[in-house]
Amino acid sequence: MTTLTSPAEPTLRPRNADWHARRQAATPRGVAVLEPFFAARALNAELWDVEGRRYIDFASGIAVLNTGHRHPRVQAALQAQLEHFHHTAYQIVPYPSYVALAERINALAPGDWSKKTAFFTTGAEAVENAIKIARAATGRSGVIAFEGGFHGRTMMGMALTGKVAPYKLGFGPFPAEIHHAPFPSEINGIDVEQALDGVQRLFRSTIDPGRVAAFIYEPVQGEGGFTPAPEAFIAGLRRIADQHGILLIADEIQTGFARTGQMFASHHHQVPIDLICFAKSLAGGLPLSGVVGRSATMDAAAPGGLGGTYAGNPLAVAAAHAVLDVIAEEGLCERAELLGRALRAHLTALQGQVPALAEIRGLGSMVAAEFRSPLTGAPDAEFTRRVQANALESGLILLTCGTHGNVIRFLHPLTTPSSVFDEALGILSHALTTA
């Protein structure tokens, strides 16, 4: 029997520049990389590169690490599951942890009606399957999404996404009967009435509402600029949906699992939602996504119509149970509100010193700072990039977003220690006032 051994640790590790050169030679340019360094280890809100430099991680793997890097509860759950099995394919040999997790999600999701949950692997898969379920339930094919929304990089995900560059460039044609309406944004001059009228214009000029299966929207747009959907907008969509027999899908892939100060962002509103897509922070860094919705709607797909080889992988499911325990036991919804208030207050105090800081917005710890020219009011992507670069130079990782790339989004782990959070705010002050 052959014994597998790990290769010996090299005496001299390749530096970031060496790995960058190897990356360029080995991987395609379409897989863009933001940072010029390579991760070696991480803990909670801190990350160290292969050369030993420390960073404060306010990107969280794009909103995946609400419970931080290497939370001990998640690590223990993974280790325990490894002692049993890593894969059976749930559709072949099911396991109790999947069912128990579905029961927990059904109970946590908004709405007091009967619900069912199906698990997948990625956020894009969750979106694809939500559309499949909506089409099966309604017998219709049309879908209305919104400008500025992001729903993934699959063909359906790109079709639904309301931003061309870089997501759609060179990849069409896309699936048919996908339409876009305006999303309300005060700073962009689009109010709720105008956004809802955009839907009615589609009905008048482009698609019969009797052919529309679903509306899909983000309660807080992610890539679109961390713009919260007003309650009146969601309520207006619900009225239109009820009038025409259309389903309402909330894409909560980035907003879910305590990020906005509630388990789901839809808990901030009193509007019934038919289907909710989720992913990202559920499994603390392991690939797991899902769709939760009304039982009758979720049962519309025929047996075998939903699933996937790795869907609901037992390691990811074990991690998800641990993440939900951590959110409850460590009060991360409340912690999200606390950290978010501190961040918004800090940014507000700096507005007098940073004329380009045009708006601060968000829910809980899903906070954004938008930058515009103080002279013209035009989106200022260059200033935004300077803030991001200044922060990185001082060891703080930040992400940008927005249709014009002029928004900094803050995605700190909700478990970030107060001392580290305060250190990050100090770095942010310097990055803003020196940009």
Please check the confidence at residue 4 and state whether its pLDDT lies above 60.
no
- Domains along the chain with CATH numbers: 16-70+331-433 (3.90.1150.10), 76-329 (3.40.640.10)
Other residues' Cβ atoms within 10 Å of the Cβ of residue 62 = 18
* Confidence at 339, pLDDT banded by 50, 70, 90: very high
Q: How far is CA 13 from CA 19, 23, 98, 284, in A?
A: 10, 15, 40, 28
Q: pTM surpassing 0.75?
A: yes
pLDDT of residue 1: 35
pLDDT of residue 9: 45
3-state secondary structure 13-33: CCCHHHHHHHHHHHCCCCCCC
Please check the confidence at residue 435 and state whether its pLDDT lies above 70.
yes
Q: For residues 163, 281, 390 and 26, what is the CA-based torsion angle, rounded to 10 degrees?
A: -70
**Averaged pLDDT score across all residues of the chain:** 95
CB 225 within 8 A of CB 150: no
* Confidence at 12, pLDDT banded by 50, 70, 90: low
pLDDT tens digit sequence for 212-228:
999 999 999 999 999 99
pLDDT tens digit sequence for 173-215:
999 999 999 999 999 999 999 999 999 999 999 999 999 999 9
The three-state secondary structure class of 257 is: coil
Please check the confidence at residue 3 and state whether its pLDDT lies above 50.
no
